[in-house]
A and B are shown apart, each in its own frame.
Chain A
Amino acid sequence: MMTAADLAAIRAIITRAKRWDLFFSLLGILSLMVGVLTFTVLFVDMAIQGVPRLNLDFFTSFPSRKAANAGILSAWVGTVLVMLLTALAAVPLGVAAGVYLEEYAPKNWMTDIIEINISNLAGIPSIVYGLLALGLFVYYFGFGQSILSAGLTLALLILPVIIVATREAIRAIPQSIHEGSYACGATTWQTVSDHILPYSSAGILTGVIIGMARAIGETAPIITIGALTFIAFLPPAPFTGEPPAGLFDWIFAPFTVMPIQMFNWTSRPEAAFAINAAAAGFVLVFMTLAMNGLAIYVRYRLRKNIKW
């Protein structure tokens, strides 16, 4: 028989257990708040310092020795051009590799090596890619410290991200779609180009955006290839200047990008440059947030709309 004392003891145990559960829940929320709070403070602090500096002149001026006149024109143009080359190189390569591994690859040692290798590449620090680019692109291929070198370096860096995203997007397509296509007599490539790629395109797009958002903020590999930090001119636009520049002359031009411009301003002792750094940082964070937000939105829509 259970006595009243036993019952009380059991109730006490239950209360204690519930208290511990509550305690851990609070601990969890608190830990999350550390992240949330840090991010909020970081963002608000940069906004307070930097936003007053954000006027049209800031976007249309070159960097200058005088902090008040300095702007980010060469930096954002450089970032846009480098990103263009990065996307042109990384997206076709990454999607092709992902399609091969999901749709074509036989189960053999070769495929195993490629798979282990890709997950390994994802773990290599970005600065090591910078060293690779310094030895290979800058000196061996002779591209110099150009937009081309930087674009290719960042392309290698985000290649694993795009490959993994492509594979995940393809894996989410049910096997019955493949089988239906093959049953109608389609070849592997017909199946891929008519069914697999269109159905996985939103998932691949998410991965591409996340990869590009990462590339936009990468500083270390671009510093390593020796990109200059003081650039007060734009790459030659095609068919302008004297003599007229060729269509692709800009890819060999020296350049600077947003994070390098910010690093340059951060490392100066004068307070006025710290404000410029905050403004550049705000623009940079805003760009990466917008890209990541877009990726999250695309994925959310995707999950909501597709019912296989």
Chain B
Amino acid sequence: MSATLSPPHSMPVGSHVSDRLSRKASRHVKERIIEALLFSAAAFSVFVTGAIVYVLVKESWVFFETVPLSDFLFDTQWTPLFDDAHYGIMVLLSGTLTSSGVALLVAIPLGTIIALYLSEFAGFKVREIAKPFLELLGGVPTIVYGYFALTMITPLLQKIYPDLPGFNLLSAGLVMGIMIIPYVASLSEDAMRAVPMALREGSYAMGATRLQTALWVVTPAATSGIASAYILGISRAVGETMILAVAAGMQPNLTFNPTEPGATITSYIVQVALGDLPHGSIGYQTIFAAGLTLLLMTLAFNLLGYWLRKRFREVY
């Protein structure tokens, strides 16, 4: 380029830059506005969490002004809608823990075996078919699982235990377990597949079999991922509602015996919502106190999962 040729838009030294390069040009303003809009969409999720905490705490606050916290935690009866009202959350917690326990006894062993099988044993074709199928299984609406537990599993179990009542925590828990299998299996499998090939090859080179490699090399290396899959399964079980509302009966029952009917925190909320409780009554506030308990439980599990991932993550 010749030095004598001046650029078409030459400006005297010291004058301001062209408008098209200025930060104030419309294109920059537009960019800023768009960025602000997108940011507010992302920040909206924080607002949602804030709103959940605010609503639950606000209504529970009113509840705990009437009912002392010690009653809530230690009373052994839950009869908030009776004249002789008792508010012992323990009763609902026992139902939640029992049904979740049954569900996890099904979901954790089966989910783990399926994950190990799909990641270490199955061929490409089996995996390509099985994974979408598991997704479908996880996508079935829970009300349908509830109907299935009530009309199919309970009569089946009654053939084995004739004394089993029509509503019970056992059949609800079993079906819930099957519902949770996909979550446990698919997350565990992701964790196992993330284990580098070199570890497996090392193991095979030492003469280990597939099973030995799967159990003693892959599983330990994927512990943090498998643990968080379990945690997700637990928090699904604790928060599951419709299966229990349909198949477990909704009568509060302080028991750890799965063959009895029982109410859980979630099915109690449904039961109250189905009725016609006036806004602002103590019965209305109990569901927020119950919801707060549920939120705190799932929050604790989420934090535990987060901590496990950090603490036991193997970095390759």
| Chain B residue at smallest Cβ distance from A218 | B141
- Contact check, B122 vs A127: say whether CB atoms are below 8 A apart: no
Q: Which of B5-13, B78-86, B157-165, B288-296 contacts A (4 or more CB under 8 A)?
A: B288-296
Please state if B148 and A121 are interface contacts (CB–CB under 8 Å).
Answer: no
- Contact (Cβ within 8 A) B181 A35: yes
- Contact assessment for A104 and B49 in the assembled complex, using a CB-CB cutoff below 8 Å: no
Is A266 touching B150 in the complex (CB atoms < 8 A)?
Answer: yes
Q: Are A213 and B139 in contact (CB under 8 A)?
A: yes
Bound: A123/B148 CA distance, A: 25
User: Which residue in chain A gives the minimum CB-CB distance to B116?
Assistant: A28
Residues of B within 8 A of A18 (CB): 209
Q: Is the CB of B49 within 8 A of A223?
A: no
Q: A10 vs B302: C-alpha distance in the bound complex, in angstroms?
A: 48
Secondary structure of the A contact surface, majority rule: helix
- How many interface residues does chain B have, given as a range? 35 or more
In chain A between 27 and 42, which residues have their CB closer than 8 angstroms to a CB of chain B?
A: 27-29, 31-32, 34-36, 38-39, 41-42
Pick from B45, B140, B212, B287: contact of A121, CB under 8 Å? B45
Report whether B143 and A105 are in contact in the complex, using a CB–CB cutoff of 8 Å.
Answer: no
Contact status of A128 and B295, CB under 8 A, knowing A117-B46, A160-B45, A292-B135: yes
> Which residue of B is nearest A300, CB measured?
B132
Q: Is B103 an interface residue (CB 8 A)?
A: no
- CB of A139 within 8 Å of the partner chain: yes
Say if the beta carbon of A302 comes within 8 Å of chain B: no
Give the chain A neighbours of B69 by CB distance below 8 A: none
Closest B residue to A210 by CB, please name it: B139
Q: A99–B209 Cα gap in the complex (Å)?
A: 45
The residues of B that contact A278 with a CB separation of less than 8 Å are 147, 151
Please, what's the 1-or-0 string for A102-146, where 1 marks a CB less than 8 Å from any CB in chain B?
001100000001101111110111111111101110010000000
Identify the closest chain B residue to A27 (Cβ).
B113
Q: In the complex, which of the residues A113, A123, A291 contacts B302, with contact meaning CB atoms closer than 8 Å?
A: A123
Q: Tell me if A125 and B146 are in contact (CB < 8 A).
A: no
- Contact for A128 among B46, B113, B291, CB less than 8 A: B291
Interface with A: B218-226, B254-262, B268-276, which one?
B268-276
**Range class of the A interface residue count:** 35 or more
A187 contacts the other chain (CB 8 A)? yes
- In the complex, which residues of chain A have a beta carbon less than 8 angstroms from the beta carbon of B45? 97, 114, 117-118, 121, 159-160, 163
Contact with A along B93-121 (1 / 0, CB 8 A): 00000000000000000100110111001
Question: A187 → chain B, closest Cβ, in Å?
Answer: 5
CB neighbors of A among B261-285 (8 A) = 266, 269-270, 273-274, 279
- Let me know if A24 and B148 touch, CB within 8 A: no
The 8 A CB mask of B48-90 against A (1 = contact, 0 = none) is 1101100110110000000000000000000000000000000
What are 16 A-B residue pairs whose CB atoms fall within 8 Å in the complex?
A20-B209, A24-B214, A34-B110, A39-B133, A92-B41, A93-B41, A113-B46, A119-B302, A120-B49, A127-B241, A127-B270, A128-B295, A132-B48, A132-B56, A159-B45, A220-B142
Top 6 A-B pairs, shortest CB-CB distance = A125-B239, A28-B117, A217-B141, A96-B41, A135-B55, A100-B38
Q: A interface vs B, CB < 8 Å?
A: 17-18, 20-21, 24-25, 27-29, 31-32, 34-36, 38-39, 41-42, 45-46, 92-94, 96-97, 99-101, 104-105, 113-114, 116-121, 123-132, 134-136, 139, 156, 159-160, 163, 187-189, 210, 213-214, 216-220, 223-226, 229, 259, 262-263, 266-267, 274, 277-278, 281, 284-285, 288-289, 291-293, 296
Interface residues of B (CB under 8 A from A): 27, 30-31, 34-35, 37-39, 41-46, 48-49, 51-52, 55-56, 58-59, 110, 113-114, 116-118, 121-122, 130, 132-137, 139-148, 150-152, 178, 181-182, 209-212, 214, 232, 235, 238-242, 245-246, 266, 269-270, 273-274, 279, 287-288, 291, 294-295, 298-299, 301-302, 306
